[in-house]
Amino acid sequence: MTMTSHSRPQPRPGILDISPYVPGKSGPKGAKVHKLSSNESPFGASAMAVAAYKAAGDRLELYPDGAATLLRSAIASRYGLMAEHIVCGAGSDELLQLLAHAYLGPGDEAIYSQYGFLVYPIAIQSNGATAVVAPETDYLADVDAILARVTGKTRMVFLANPNNPTGRYLPFSEVRRLHAGLPAGVLLVLDAAYAEYVRRNDYEAGLELVATSSNVVMTRTFSKIYGLAALRLGWAYCPAHVADVLNRVRGPFNISGPAIAAGAAAMADQDFVERAIAHNDIWLGWLSAELTRLGLEVTPSVGNFVLVHFPADGARNAHAADSYLQDNGFVVRRMDAYGLPGALRITVGTQEANHGLVACLKAFMS
C-alpha cells in the first residue's frame, strides 16, 4: 500500500493558525459563585419566555419551522421592519460566521478594530481570508484607521458598536462616515449585541442605515438583555439580497423550536427589558464610580460590563486580582487574548454581586 505524505486528514491551510475562542469561566460546582465573566443577564430570562420554552417541550418530536416565522414576525413587529429582511441564527455568532462564509474567501481581506470581538478573526481566517486589524484610539474604534486599511482586496468590515470588551461606542455620525468611505462592494457588518443598553442621543444600532443601503448588515442577540444565552439565538437585519444569500447557506433548521418560541415571547415582554435597562443604568454607573474610587482605571462603558485596568507591576496586577476574586467567589474575564493583560472585564451583576465584588477588590487593593 502506498503511503501518502500525511498520516491523517489535514485541515485547509490556515485553519491551525486560528486561536480558538475561549469563553468566560464558570466557578467551581457547589460553591457560591457570582459569575461576572460572560456579560449574562443578572435577571435570568423573562417569565413569558420561560413559559413559552416549557410549552414547546411538548412538541420535541417535530422539526421547527425552518423559516422561524413566529420569531421573525415578533422582531419585525417590535421594530417596524420587513420580516423578509430578517434572518435568525444560533446566536449572532452563527450569523457572523455565515456572513464570512458567504462573502469571504482566499485572497480577500476583512477589517476589524484592535479590540473587536474575537469571533471576527476566527470567522475571517476560517474562510481563508486575511484578517486586517485597525488600531483603536483610547479603546475606541477609529474610522480613519479603518478606512486607511481598505484595499482592493477588502470585502468586509466588522464593527461592534458598542464594542465588547471595551464598552465604548461610536456616535452614529461616525458610523455613517465610515459607511460613506467604503466602496459599494464592501459589506459593513454592524454588531449591535449590546444596543439595548445604550441610552445616548447620538447612538443608533443601524436599522435605518441597513434600510437605506445595499451593503450594510446589523446583527443582534438574545443572549444579553433578554437572558436567553443558553438557547443560542440571534438575528440579522439585511438588504434583501443579503438575506437571500444567508438563507441559502444557513442550515435548514438552524434555530430550535423552543428557541423560536422563547425568543418571540421575550421580544413581546418589553416590561422585562425596561427593568433590565433600569437596573443596568443604576449599577453600571455605581460600579464604575466605586472601582475608580479604589484607584483603578475604568474605561467608560455603555454596555452591561466595565473594562478595569490594574497596575502593571507589583502584587496588585490584573492576574493577581483575578486569582483573588476567584478564591472569593467572583469569576470575571481576563483580557490576555485581546492583548490587554493588565485588564479585567467585569459584568454588571445583581446588587449583591456588585457590592460583594467591590468589597472584595477593596480588600485586595488595600
Residue 83, C-alpha cell as written in the block: 420580516
Residue 345, C-alpha cell as written in the block: 472585564
Q: Report the number of secondary-structure helices (H) and strands (E) in the chain.
A: 12, 13
Q: Give start-end residues of each CATH 3.90.1150.10 domain in the chain.
A: 24-44+271-365
Q: Rounded CA gap, 65 and 83, in Å? A: 15
Q: What is the pTM of this model?
A: 0.92
Which superfamily is assigned to 24-44+271-365 in CATH? Aspartate Aminotransferase, domain 1 (3.90.1150.10)
Cα–Cα–Cα angle for 343, 348, 351, rounded to 5 degrees: 130
List, in sequence order, the alpha helices (H) in 21-84: 47-56, 69-79
Q: How does pLDDT run across 221-274, given as a tens digit for each residue?
A: 999 999 999 999 999 999 999 999 999 999 999 999 999 999 999 999 999 999
- From first to last of the 366 residues of the chain, give the pLDDT tens digit: 455 557 877 777 777 777 775 666 666 555 578 999 999 999 899 999 999 999 999 999 999 999 999 999 999 999 999 999 999 999 999 999 999 999 999 999 999 999 999 999 999 999 999 999 999 999 999 999 999 999 999 999 999 999 999 999 999 999 999 999 999 999 999 999 999 999 999 999 999 999 999 999 999 999 999 999 999 999 999 999 999 999 999 999 999 999 999 999 999 999 999 999 999 999 999 999 999 999 999 999 999 999 999 999 789 999 999 999 999 999 999 999 999 999 999 999 999 999 999 999 999 998
Note the Cα 69 to chain centre separation in Å: 24
User: Which amino acid makes up residue 363?
Assistant: A
Q: What is residue 303's DSSP assignment?
A: S
Q: Give start-end residues of each CATH 3.40.640.10 domain in the chain.
A: 47-268
Q: State the DSSP string of 335-362.
A: -GGGT-TTEEEEE---HHHHHHHHHHHH
**From residue 235, how far is each of 31, 138, 283, 333, 352 by CA, in Å?**
35, 30, 28, 26, 32
**From residue 288, how far is each of 222, 311, 316 by CA, in Å?**
25, 17, 18
Fold of the 47-268 domain: Aspartate Aminotransferase; domain 2 (3.40.640)
